[in-house]
Structure 1
């Protein structure tokens, strides 16, 4: 990664300027480092600022904001903004910041002691007491400068050149390695391990299931073709300095035509050609908040995005503003955006069983927001618990009705929301707990053919809990089994995904000394296989092609 790229990527945390100094009447260029910000004796070198910016970008920005103004987590500014209950970082000082970094919080912040070195923690206690650097522009022109097509559309095969079952491929994120592995779910072979960008966050598939799109925390979108003999990167582009979400057009007649990208910083919605990743348009998401004083929010980041199967629209969730943006892509150069005010801060969400209603967590408000997508209106907002975090949620049906499920970061609670018409619709009709104390759950998962609901506890600070998965019976909602970490791997269990048939459940093991992918028999709940090796590096999200394409969860 070159210096210019790093400088832009980390918002010019470090910089150099070229000045002219005269000597005997001749002009001589000299590169002089800009003076680093000081806070009561704190002075960091250029190298330290760059290292600290890397750490913050990787481990902190997702919850505290790229500009450190706060989101799911509190602000991390030297002086507390007016009205903020959280103190400034200078007030906390090195000792206070160290306590939070090392120990985490019950609300879902992981403990970084043992993951970050002591020197890294010390560096961050200093860095966080300095003013955050300014963020340069990144618009359509900058995107086009990064756009690369490695295999033109005309040179790609018209049909698969192999006999493998693409529907049961898994795209697996190797987060810290900046790679995506494509695994044959039938044979469990790694077909390719591809460099895709820094800290990949999610994968999405084209409406046809042919292409896999990855997006990382460097804002890079990578397009992978599964029709070739081995999965191959055919195009890439950067949509921002930081991002979390992409999605494709899925409405009939628009399949595989367009891709939407949600920028964290700069905060915007960008539309690309889904065949080539050529940038088409950019729409800023900055604007007024949904509630309170309705202040103007510049860093209004785009969180989760889903694609409607019933209309040519994407549902983009504008985190800090609490706005659900329904983006009509029938004219991608001039997309029409319908904004629906809801609650802050919008994060993850997914469809109910009908595909008509979208449910999304507003985790700073402890609510789940329900949107009627065809009619583009807010249905209701439901109190569920402290910091709901559903991933895309999970849909089941039992004697209580059709239920959409969310877990919570901030407390030990799994909430079941009735979605079908009748008494109790759009209310929490059941709450259950997993064994042990505290929240920290990131994902829930089931499958239409399964009798089980799987729940992780990845961000629970208790090592005896974040290394386990709990399984519940979908009919009775009773706890059925706690699955312990098997021998041969160690770390935290995170993110569950089914195969196409719904009879296998895959779980990642990361943030330990030995990573792996665990494969369980969904009927017996017994471990079938562990995928590990030098190429398995901190796996996180896993995305089955068929389930992702058809929004099965």
Structure 2
């Protein structure tokens, strides 16, 4: 949030002297029809600092002047002066004096069903394995491609909401994929046909979405407003809005994930030193009303507001910005907001049970696990340090810290390969991929499949035969490599591909992919 506020202040520093009411009027005349008079979005995305965190002010000016390809955003350089364009860009980086409510009434009003489920085919209209499909989010022109993992070609390509979160989520049978955009839109798409089933706007700024292991529910975590929203997975109709609050203050959501063996959603919070768990199984039993103190001082569990989804609240000694489950889903590894340390929280004991030596802002959400000498090890890249940390999941000690060519963002492995792949895309050598031999815990290979270009985010085919890599530039591609020889087999042109996920790896909770 500090970076967002700083960006807003920087933006305000270069607002022309004549700006103010004139700029608000200019916004109303030029932008409100698509982006909403309140800047909360309409047919165009929301224009708030929280939603524009990835877009620099200079880039925003360029979009206003030249428009955005493959969208309805037109350019205004022939109608607005350079000063007017600069003032408009600064205006949308100013925080609202008061964020309007986005509760059940507004959520219900946004819901629409596009394709009835009865209209969908009973069998896949193709011969390939439907569980070996990939979903690729293309950030360059806001599209999604569904890729056939057998024939290595694009089956469908369709437009998406602005700024989708890269982490697509699937129904347990792999038939449907769910997307969440940064400005709160949740979409359900049929993997077999590429058809949009339903959409709903669950928030103003959304962190991510999780799908229950029984396929009945979605849980949406929001940054604005401070809420969680439960949806019916069948048609995305809203079931419950859960305010995220405690101890007299509210909190943004850091992340929400599903814990399949527990039949629950687990939520990390940015502004409360708590983890929330929501059991959703029909036989989960009632949650006791009120707070129940555990044996560990300062740890307690309680409930959210009334409704089907009630939260078990676990007190922790620090804020948790990201987390990762152990293979049993009984414990979560969490990274602190400043990235200087980490902790392990036992969801059954309801307390912290270990500290982690994890400086350099680990990206736990993209970590992987694998077995070595009968022990589960977890490996994670770091966003600020040129390293990969490998942790023993029994002792919680860091058994190895491998030096890499730069900070990395994504890491992937697969049960059918001894290699774990990590990018170093956060550093200068953005074109390199480093491949770790999980048998020796050493970097065995460094490859540059697209020299000089941004290369990241590896995902494997269902059988682990292919490693699919993103060339994440506007005129980019996904590169399909042999996972044993690292030779390129094929490349499919894409526009800045970011997240991409194989259906089988996600629904089977592969140890080599994020969950």
Which structure 2 residues correspond to residues 251-400 of structure 1 after superposition, within 5 A?
A: 255-288=214-247, 297-298=249-250, 300-330=251-281, 333-342=307-316, 345-399=319-373
Which whole-Å deviations, capped at 9, do the CAs of 1:20-56 have from their partners, x for residues lacking one?
xxxxxxxxxxxxxxxx999894835245797998484
* 2:204 corresponds to 1:214: no
Cα separation, partners in 2 of 1:500 and 1:131, compared to 1, 3 Å? closer
Partner in structure 2 of residue 105 of structure 1: none
Distance 1:275 1:479 in 2: 44
Which structure 2 residues correspond to residues 358-507 of structure 1 after superposition, within 5 A?
A: 358-399=332-373, 401-420=375-394, 425-435=395-405, 438-439=406-407, 441-460=408-427, 462=428, 465-486=429-450, 491-507=453-469
Q: CA deviation at 1:57?
A: 4.8
Distance 1:195 1:406 in 2: 32
Distance 1:37 1:330 in 2: 52
Which whole-Å deviations, capped at 9, do the CAs of 1:493-548 have from their partners, x for residues lacking one?
222211111121111122x352111112111122222111xxx2111000110111
Distance 2:309 2:137 in 1: 31
Distance 1:235 1:372 in 2: 37
* 2:495 corresponds to 1:537: yes
Cα separation, partners in 2 of 1:360 and 1:546, compared to 1, 3 Å? farther
Q: CA deviation at 1:551?
A: 1.7
Partner in structure 2 of residue 145 of structure 1: 109
Within the candidate set 223, 231, 236, 2:188 is matched to 223
Cα separation, partners in 2 of 1:359 and 1:466, compared to 1, 3 Å? same
Cα separation, partners in 2 of 1:396 and 1:158, compared to 1, 3 Å? same
Partner in structure 1 of residue 69 of structure 2: none
User: How many equivalent residue pairs?
Assistant: 437
Q: CA deviation at 1:360?
A: 3.1
Which whole-Å deviations, capped at 9, do the CAs of 1:336-372 have from their partners, x for residues lacking one?
2012233655334333233433323324252333233
Distance 2:100 2:348 in 1: 37
Q: CA deviation at 1:147?
A: 0.8
**TM-score under structure 1 length normalisation:** 0.71
Partner in structure 1 of residue 66 of structure 2: none
Contact map agreement 2:278 2:312 (CA 8 A) in 1 = yes
What's the secondary structure of 1:410's corresponding residue?
coil
Unmatched 5+ residue regions in structure 1? Answer: 1-9, 11-35, 65-96, 99-117, 289-295
Contact map agreement 1:491 1:514 (CA 8 A) in 2 = no
What's the secondary structure of 2:457's corresponding residue?
strand
Q: CA deviation at 1:491?
A: 3.7
Partner in structure 2 of residue 523 of structure 1: 484
Partner in structure 1 of residue 201 of structure 2: 238
Cα separation, partners in 2 of 1:238 and 1:42, compared to 1, 3 Å? same
Distance 2:355 2:85 in 1: 39
Q: CA deviation at 1:335?
A: 1.1
Q: CA deviation at 1:131?
A: 5.6
Cα separation, partners in 2 of 1:238 and 1:37, compared to 1, 3 Å? farther
Distance 1:524 1:39 in 2: 54
Contact map agreement 2:16 2:87 (CA 8 A) in 1 = no
Partner in structure 1 of residue 212 of structure 2: 249
Contact map agreement 1:173 1:541 (CA 8 A) in 2 = yes
Cα separation, partners in 2 of 1:549 and 1:188, compared to 1, 3 Å? same
Contact map agreement 2:51 2:205 (CA 8 A) in 1 = no
Q: CA deviation at 1:244?
A: 2.5
Contact map agreement 2:404 2:424 (CA 8 A) in 1 = no
Unmatched 5+ residue regions in structure 2? Answer: 5-11, 40-45, 59-81, 283-305
Cα separation, partners in 2 of 1:126 and 1:246, compared to 1, 3 Å? closer
What's the secondary structure of 1:141's corresponding residue?
helix
Distance 1:311 1:509 in 2: 37
RMSD of aligned Cα (Å): 3.3
Larger CA deviation: 141-150 vs 522-531 = 522-531
Larger CA deviation: 50-59 vs 401-410 = 50-59
Distance 1:454 1:119 in 2: 47
Which whole-Å deviations, capped at 9, do the CAs of 1:81-138 have from their partners, x for residues lacking one?
xxxxxxxxxxxxxxxx99xxxxxxxxxxxxxxxxxxx999977996699565431111
What's the secondary structure of 2:376's corresponding residue?
strand
Cα separation, partners in 2 of 1:338 and 1:457, compared to 1, 3 Å? same
Distance 1:297 1:399 in 2: 47
What's the secondary structure of 1:200's corresponding residue?
coil
